[in-house]
Amino acid sequence: METYTNPFDVVIDPFAGGGSTIDICKKRFRRYFVSDRKPIIEREKEIRQHDLMTGPLKPPQWKDVKLVYLDPPYWIQAAGQYSDDPEDLGNQSLEDFTKNLAKVIQEYAKKISDAYIALIIQPTQWKAPDRAFVDHIGDILRAVKLPVAMWYSVPYESQQCNAQMVDWAKANKRCLVLTREIIVWRVD
């Protein structure tokens, strides 16, 4: 966040979940405009309830927005965790997930200028059919078609995987996904 914003800039987070964006923005002197499809009860007074599938979250002034931060429910990894609604990104097919997430990114790109859109996403494995490695990044990059400002690969701690996962990986001679990716697009 610090790399792409300055104090008092606005950060939009339409997947605010537990409110960590709020906490970081307060610490770094950024303003925030956040929502979630289903805010947690403890933060429901700070996080607007908004379903991103109905359109982008609309701040009072788009010109102040310098970062749109997207941390969506990862396809199939989050199936049923947030709702049973088939329109929930976490419950969609991979094709629909990619199409709809790209649409969200493109809708925000139309609204902002001299700003960034950051997407954090992990390749899918453990809950995928046959535990296949599914990399969403290539599909998202092809669908979005915005200039990439930076691509970060962020390792998870090894505690991400439990003993069952490690045993499966050894028995099947497969690697486990231990990273997530952050793609940052520049919108002029």
pLDDT in tens, 76-93: 777 777 778 888 888 888
Place of tokens 């995987």: 161
The C-alpha angle with vertex 144 and arms to 139 and 148, in degrees rounded to 5, equals 95
Q: What integer pLDDT is reported at residue 35 of this predicted model? A: 95
| Reported pTM | 0.91
CA atoms within 13 A on the CB side of 99: 6
CA atoms within 13 A on the CB side of 170: 7
Domains annotated for the chain, with CATH where assigned, are 10-187 (3.40.50.150)
Q: How many angstroms from the chain centroid is the CA of residue 19?
A: 13
Query: Which among 127, 120, 130, 129 is positioned nearest to 179, based on CA atoms?
Result: 120
- 3-state class (DSSP) for residue 180: strand
pLDDT tens digits, one per residue of 100-128? 999 999 999 999 999 999 999 887 777 77
